[in-house]
Structure 1
Amino acid sequence: MTTTVPKSEAPAAIRVHGIEKSFKDVQVLRGVDLKITPGSIFALLGSNGAGKTTLVRILSTLLPADGGTASVDDYDVATQPADVRESISLTGQFAAVDEMLTGRENLVLVAKLRHLKNPDAIADDLLARFTLAGAGARKAATYSGGMRRRLDIAMSLIGNPPIIFLDEPTTGLDPQGRIEVWQAIKQLVDGGTTVLLTTQYLDEAEQLAERIAILHQGRIIVDGSLTELKQLLPPAKVEYVEKQPTLEDVFLTLVGDHDADDSACGSAGTDK
């Protein structure tokens, strides 16, 4: 039985109603409903095989649905796919950067492929926004996992798409790299971008999302803010709690704040 947390009426950047998808005799999506508010981060949680990536592929016009309807930026995914593609950017589970090019060259290349004016200025602006300016002249092959992921997200923003899909963007990253990517995602929303984030990491959803949905066995079983979801369970009565530092507190205390420009890392920033 689906648990539904009431949602206030608001404009929707993404609307999904009754989406279904099967692969041969395996039904992956069994009637998914979603509504995502513009300028927010919406996290879609689910275990492996829950259908998260399948839903993202449908919304990004890479895969047709078997049933139901969906709109992105008020364009119908099935009947207006070209308009949907103009409104979105998709960052998959693995960074799609050219490691033989420098960070700056990757950005300039994408800007030129999109026929934008002043590709050099666009590249410089994005390098600065994602704290990669000092590493812009280095080949992407020398970047750490977090830096490479941030470059990948920066490339996705070229052309200023109002909606971006991030499909498990921190998979395989170390804790420091994950924190770097979290900071980059928060910057997207500060700039007005709508983010649909799929993840298996519960702490990632807690850190980033204004609204969270859980996809299980092809259906959304709960959808609400973190506070609303917590209210679905009775509070535990605790007489005394001694607050212990979190692992993140320990990690950041020991290694320091890594939000500064990665140029200090030199060419030895490649993950081991």
Structure 2
Amino acid sequence: MIYLHDIDPIALALGPLKIHWYGLMYLLGFGIAWWLGRRRINAGRLPGVDEHGYGDLMFYAMVGVVLGGRLGYILFYDLHTYLAHPLQMLKVWEGGMSFHGGLLGVVAAVWWWSRRRGLHVMDTLEFVAPLVPPGLGFGRIGNFINGELWGKVTHADWGVVFPASLPQPYASMDAATLRAHFQSGALDAFARHPSQLYQAFLEGLVLFTVLWIYSRKPRPRYSVAGLFVLLYGVFRFLVEFVRVPDQQLDYLAFGWLTMGQLLSVPLILLGLAWLWCSRSAPTLQPRVA
């Protein structure tokens, strides 16, 4: 069934204050990560760390996600535009977050927190890795609600018509007129892959399920983090084949290589390397603080 995307990105408007679904998705992702992490702390999965220390870790990690994700998007995807319009950097509710930048931000935050507590940074990353996928999944749902980062045109029955992707004269039509054209079937040819939902499923639900089950018992150092970056890199690389590349970048090479794929290759290699290292690495045993 083809669907016309007509979701209001604003969840609640209180006078000049507007609460966007995109921001709520991030809050939901952080909230679930916080709850899951507390369960792991209480089970002693990060020995020597109590709930107070965990609160500090989550604060640093959240700052790393937001700052790293925003800066990563600016540097990797649209530096020219943000240099021309610096105030746009602050409008995170409009989208424009990079996973790869957010990952670097989290790694920096985890390194800083671990260094202050005398912990091995990889042990902390192993603890954090299973908490990340819910945020990735809800972030992609936020992209879908915003009607951004859509996929290529498809003839599948589950295609979505994104108004912002339509050519003229459809792009300038009001909502009622556009819906009338949609109901007549005139817009079926413009239906696209809901690539945001593909990513929400793979990077969110599937990745979380695999990591949570795999990490339920102690694993050798490097293994959980290695599995995380490997699977994310593979999932992202594959979905990019049905996703439209960012307009300002287009394809980088070969008529198909996107920036998302280029940035995912190092993750795949790093994941394989970490999994190899885990074969001779020690296993951290749970110990309640």
Could you tell me the TM-score, scaled by structure 1's length? 0.29
Instruction: Specify which structure has the higher proportion of strand.
Output: 1
Larger radius of gyration: 2
Could you tell me the TM-score, scaled by structure 2's length? 0.28
